């Protein structure tokens, strides 16, 4: 995010936002525990309608964290519960080097992983495989197209569901995708046996909904910055 001056109006500014992730469910401005924003409550405990009509409202860090926690489910998926001895441990995720609380970062990681897996029905877009382990956990991974280290957002359209092998090829620039979802392989770095894992039509199996499919902006970034061809 950055803030730039409005060239047409003195003392006015634009805030340019990067990265967007949907909440798992809407957060009401008030529930049984009270108002999510203290500014919205008058001293007589009624709604401050003047503040409610503002386009932009300042909130405290605690209020921000509370909204995030309510909007994104923090309940573990079934395969993350210690139900059986064979169940795998919950994987750890690297925290981005930005100014965020640890709790917020973990919540966003979990939401991105869950939303991408759900969009692809726990199926690898490259191989078409849908593998579920003995503990009920899907083996498919949620991969960023433009990676976290390059300011890639936690948005479904910057994600793609891949098996571990396909994820490895993609992260190392040995595989990428065209804007029309054709699979492109580096001709000198992929063994023949791995090449056979790609779906016969050599195209990604993407979600039916267009607003869940990989965005051309992120695909182009990967081709120009990661692909070895």
Q: Which of 69, 87, 66, 85 is nearest to 77 (CA)?
A: 87
pLDDT grade for 202, boundaries at 50, 70 and 90: very high
- How far, in whole angstroms, is CA 139 from its chain's centroid? 17
Q: What pLDDT, in 10s, does the model give residues 5-42?
A: 889 998 888 877 765 666 777 888 888 888 888 888 88
Is the dihedral angle over the CA atoms 49, 54, 56, 57 positive or is it negative?
negative
Domain range list for the chain: 19-71, 109-225
pTM over 0.75: no
Q: Write out the two tokens for 221.
A: 């970034």
91-149 residue pLDDT tens = 333 344 444 444 455 566 778 888 899 999 999 999 999 988 777 788 899 999 999 88
CA 157 – CA 216 distance, rounded (Å):
9
Asked if 122 and 140 count as a contact pair (C-beta separation under 8 A), the reply is yes
What span, in angstroms and rounded, lies between the C-alpha atoms of 219 and 180?
Answer: 10
């Amino acid at each position: 995010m950055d803030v730039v001056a409005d060239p047409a109006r003195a003392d006015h500014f634009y805030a340019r936002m990067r990265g967007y992730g949907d909440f798992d469910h809407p957060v009401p401005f008030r529930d049984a525990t009270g108002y999510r924003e203290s500014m919205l409550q008058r001293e007589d405990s009624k709604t401050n309608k003047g503040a409610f009509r503002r386009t932009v409202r300042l909130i405290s860090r605690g209020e921000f964290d509370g909204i995030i926690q309510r909007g994104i489910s923090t309940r573990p998926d079934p395969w993350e519960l210690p139900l059986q001895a064979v169940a795998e441990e919950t994987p750890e995720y690297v925290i981005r080097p930005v100014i965020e609380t640890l709790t917020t970062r973990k919540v966003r990681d979990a939401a991105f992983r869950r939303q991408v897996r759900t969009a692809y029905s726990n199926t690898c877009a490259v191989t078409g495989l849908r593998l579920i382990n003995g503990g009920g956990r899907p083996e498919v991974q949620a991969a960023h197209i433009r990676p976290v280290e390059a300011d890639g957002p936690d948005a479904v359209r910057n994600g793609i569901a891949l098996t571990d092998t396909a994820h490895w090829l993609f992260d190392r620039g040995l595989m990428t995708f065209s804007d029309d979802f054709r699979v492109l392989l580096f001709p000198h770095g992929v063994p023949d046996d791995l090449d056979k894992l790609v779906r016969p039509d050599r195209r990604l199996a993407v979600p039916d909904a267009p607003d869940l499919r990989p965005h051309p902006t992120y695909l182009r970034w990967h081709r120009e910055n990661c692909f070895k061809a």
